[in-house]
Amino acid sequence: MDDSWKPVRRLRRLRRNDAIREMAREVRLSQSQLIAPLFVKEGTGSPEPVGSMPGVHRLSIPELVQECLELHRLGIRGVALFPVTPPELKDPYGSEALNPDCLVLRAIRAVKSAVPGLVLFTDVALDPYTSHGHDGLLDSGGSDVENDTTVEVLCRQAVLQAGAGTDFVAPSDMMDGRVGAIRRALDEAGFAKIGILAYSAKFASAFYGPFREAVGSASAAGTRSLDKRGYQLDPANPSQAIEDALLDAAEGADALMVKPAGAYLDILARLRTQTRLPLAAYQVSGEYAQIHAAARAGWLDYRSVRNESLLAIRRAGADWILTYFAKEMAAELVG
């Protein structure tokens, strides 16, 4: 038989066994790249499970502190806090966001006191606090979110969070100009060291439903859909997403985020070529829930798909991954 067809290079040599595959691996996951999103509630009762997010709970502040201690022990370096505001404290103006003793500020102080080495990321937006569920203040007709008046409130919210001890404020509202305004407000208030992780490419996605259930927003799973397309990105517009992100960088953001992650890996990869800032990607609640649902139905292998999904986000260019798998992944990585 003529052997001329045989390949000169045999790439399978680098796939021959576990040891060689490990040595040749180009992209790796580590605990320090993972940020755990955590939901904090009022009171001191038991953890409340989020029905659409298996393994995820709403935690009281004492429970939150214990969870943060455990995450830090496992090598997780950052957590993102999301408050569950009681319905009676919500109003059309998101007034509770500016309460100097509101839930998230008390949570920041408690976690920082107990785990000072843990990096805290806190959400700057009004949707956890507004009765209508939008990320900002509505106009007089109630049909559109006012950009500039919303930004003024977001600046005050960011300064309060900085004063409580957060490390990064994370504006997720998608208002124009808010990163520059927040940077100026923080600097003028004496918080020049506080970072900004900007939700720069946040899409009007259908993958947010379970999160909205978790925080009890007006657009929770199973309720009337809340239309945020007037400020969140159109999923069909990749160039606009890159423009948004680069504007945030120019306004002083310290890190940029793409959200959701899995369905927008192309955006993440394109943005990676455009900036040297750290890039975060949020593997959102719907992505988490669908992996659990498929695994429970026996259609997919849970651990393999979970790991592959996170590796894909890293491969596309993310330095940090916000994921509800953070704790269990860290435990496995620690061994």
> Which residues are annotated as catalytic?
202, 259
Residue 257 · residue 250 · CB < 8 Å: no
Q: CA-based angle 195:192:258, to the nearest 5?
A: 20
- Tokens (6 digits) for 269: 């990869």
Instruction: Report how far residue 217's alpha carbon sits from residue 205's, in angstroms, rounded to the nearest whole number.
Output: 15
300 phi-psi bin (left φ>0, alpha ψ -120 to 50, beta other):
beta
Instruction: Output Rg (C-alpha) for the chain, integer angstroms.
Output: 21
Whether the CB-CB separation of 137 and 151 falls below 8 Å is answered with no
Burial (CB count <10 Å: 0-12, 13-18, 19+), residue 8: exposed
Tokens of 14: 């680098």
Distance in angstroms (rounded) separating the CA atoms of residues 196 and 252: 8
Strand 57-59 and strand 48-49: pairing? antiparallel
Q: Please report the beta strands in the chain, taking only residues with DSSP state E, as ranges in sequence order.
A: 34-40, 48-49, 57-59, 78-83, 119-124, 168-171, 195-202, 255-259, 279-283, 320-323
